[in-house]
Structure 1
Amino acid sequence: MSAGNNTRLGVGLMVLTTFVFAMQDGISRHLASEYNVLMVVMVRYWFFAAFVVAIARAKAGGIRAAARSVQTGLQAFRGLLLAIEICVMVLAFTILGLVESLAVFTCYPLLVAALSGPILGESVGWRRWAAIGVGFVGVLIILEPGIGVFKPAAVIPLIAAMMFALYALLTRYVARKDTSATSFFWTGVAGAVAMTVVGIWFWEPMAPADWAWMATLCVTGASGHWLLIRVYEVAEASAVQPFAYLQLVFGSMIGVTVFGEVIAWNVATGAGIVVAAGLFTLWRERQQG
């Protein structure tokens, strides 16, 4: 995909994308509180895989061209990694709620910056390392280690963030040899196969009203990915990426208004530090680019 230069449209689409993904998180939290997490993610992946296949068929070369890769094993591993990360994050929603889970997960761009050196061979200067260090101070403020109210479960979204950071880095790595269409195809199909193998054993009947929510979850998932593709088609990534942090804002609003969650002082403070550090690393990346 060639990047365009319509930054205003790109920003608008990114804001819409973060809102759609926040809705997806809220619906996932509801369904996973009522049904098995693996089943919920499996059904979501079925729709996602169908969406990916439909896009592949519409493009030149069809499914065969989209599936063609010189690094099949790595592509399949990426898809599996993302599927597991989604399961872990949805589990975090049910245990910690949206606000705290998203606040911790927001550190993933810092993890990407920290791991880009050993995995991709990119140069990470002292300013970025300083920002990464400050960001993790923010994460520690959210987790409150050493204080009586510390919940070990708060580590769950941190694990999800680490997995997503690795997924993002592997996506960059495979892009050296495969097209974005191929990576997108493998993300959906490999994840759907993996989730079906595991999730089918946890199938349970759903109430009609929850099937409506499940359908909405599937639509938000597919539309969110489609919007994200459009974002990077019309604008440069460095120009729109800072607005991705709005997912934390929208998700927190849903957590507070729909699920009655409370934003604790340490979560708000820590999240603010993490976002500031992340924005700085993005700014540095743009300056060096």
Structure 2
Amino acid sequence: MSAKDGDNVVLAIVLSLVALVLFQSMGLVIKHLSPRFSAPELSAWRNFFGLFPSAIALATSRSWHRNGRPWRLRQWRMAVARGLSTSFAQLFFYISLGTMAYATATTITYANALFMTALAIPILGEKVGPVRWFAVLIGFVGVILVMEPGASTFQLATMAPLLSALLYAVSGITSRLIDPDVPSPLMNLYSVSVSMAASLVIAALTGGFSPITSWSDAFWLLTMGIFGGTAVLVMVISFRMTEQSNLAPFTYFGIPVAFVFGWAFFGETPFSTLFPGGLLIMVGGLTVIWRERVKQRAVTTPTEH
């Protein structure tokens, strides 16, 4: 683990774990609301609440103020594409939460790191060596084991979390194509705004919005927004404290957290589904992250003669 002067790696890791738990808590609320609200509705509500933390993050961005608080993006089409990708990624993930065990759906979405490695070749022109390809292969074997395509319980909806992982990877890759001097909060605000607009259209075309008939549902929708919005803010703060590569390995802590949450709140214990498939996804993803860090050190460390 590397740290630059001024980095607070330990606090950044703690905050990233807090954000992870908040995101998982948001997922629990979404699964709880799924019987009464459609996935497009939940996506629209999530993006609506997501506008507020994105705006707060932008308003407190030093680089944005230092550059004269610009609102225009030269690559606005890329930001729009990222927002659309995120919107459909959310939609597929929320569908999976309503139809699958919580931990199973969540674990499959961790394949996004594997998809990002594969997509980096055609989109970013990166060269991927045998180690990372082997890691991707291991991870996808894990995905197949978790999805159990030959099982009697396999259905088309089982593909939803995998499609979500692919689209989240497209969103992540797209963000790397945007000019590096663009503040992350500004890019995120563009994407969330597009995601909200897209989710509103999808919700309108698939039956509209269900009436909120109880204080309980209103409370849980608000809680979903608070969990998701706070998680975004905490994650942005942690990214400002250290390099993202220092935080990436800890994202896989979400897999055991998802299993514990699914067991504690829904009585789900998908041991046979998640193991060893979930472990292989973790091994593949962590190997990709490790290889990326090795490459970064090789580039930044001067050669001795």
TM-score strictly above 0.5: yes
Aligned-pair identity in percent equals 23
The separation in 2 between residues aligned to 1:149 and 1:211, in whole angstroms, is 33
| 2:39 corresponds to | 37
The separation in 2 between residues aligned to 1:161 and 1:12, in whole angstroms, is 25
Question: By how many angstroms is 1:271 displaced?
Answer: 0.5
Q: Which amino acid aligns with 1:204?
A: S
Q: Which amino acid aligns with 2:272?
A: W
Partner secondary structure for residue 258 of structure 1:
helix
Does residue 202 (structure 1) correspond to residue 204 (structure 2)? The answer is: no
1:107 to 101, 105, 111: 111
Question: By how many angstroms is 1:209 displaced?
Answer: 0.6
Question: By how many angstroms is 1:52 displaced?
Answer: 2.4
Q: Which runs of 4+ in 1 moved over 4 A?
A: 57-62
| 2:238 corresponds to | 231
| 1:41-66 residue CA offsets vs partner (Å, 9 max, x unmatched) | 2122112123323443455559x945
Larger helix proportion of the pair = 1
| 1:7 corresponds to | 9
- Alignment CA distance shift 1:152-1:197 (3 Å): closer
Confirm or deny: 8 A CA contact 1:23 1:251 kept in the other structure: no
| 1:117 corresponds to | 121
TM-score (norm 1): 0.92
Q: Superposition pairs for residues 149-160 of structure 1, below 5 Å?
A: 149-160=153-164
The separation in 2 between residues aligned to 1:228 and 1:97, in whole angstroms, is 26
Question: By how many angstroms is 1:198 displaced?
Answer: 3.2
Partner secondary structure for residue 146 of structure 1:
coil
- Alignment CA distance shift 1:121-1:257 (3 Å): same
1:49 to 28, 40, 51: 51
Structure 1: gaps spanning 5 or more residues:
none
Length, aligned pairs only: 287
Does residue 191 (structure 1) correspond to residue 195 (structure 2)? The answer is: yes
| 2:221 corresponds to | 214
The separation in 1 between residues aligned to 2:59 and 2:254, in whole angstroms, is 31
Confirm or deny: 8 A CA contact 2:249 2:286 kept in the other structure: yes
- Alignment CA distance shift 1:248-1:3 (3 Å): farther
Question: By how many angstroms is 1:287 displaced?
Answer: 0.8
- Alignment CA distance shift 1:256-1:288 (3 Å): same
Partner secondary structure for residue 5 of structure 1:
coil
Confirm or deny: 8 A CA contact 1:67 1:186 kept in the other structure: no
| 1:175-228 residue CA offsets vs partner (Å, 9 max, x unmatched) | 446331321111221112222233355111122111111111111111111111
Structure 2: gaps spanning 5 or more residues:
297-305
| 1:25-83 residue CA offsets vs partner (Å, 9 max, x unmatched) | 10011112221221222122112123323443455559x94531011111112112101
Quote the RMSD (CA, aligned, Å): 2.1
- Alignment CA distance shift 1:247-1:55 (3 Å): same
| 1:226-266 residue CA offsets vs partner (Å, 9 max, x unmatched) | 11111111122111111111222222211111111122323
Question: By how many angstroms is 1:124 displaced?
Answer: 0.8
| 1:113-136 residue CA offsets vs partner (Å, 9 max, x unmatched) | 111111111221111001101111
TM-score (norm 2): 0.88
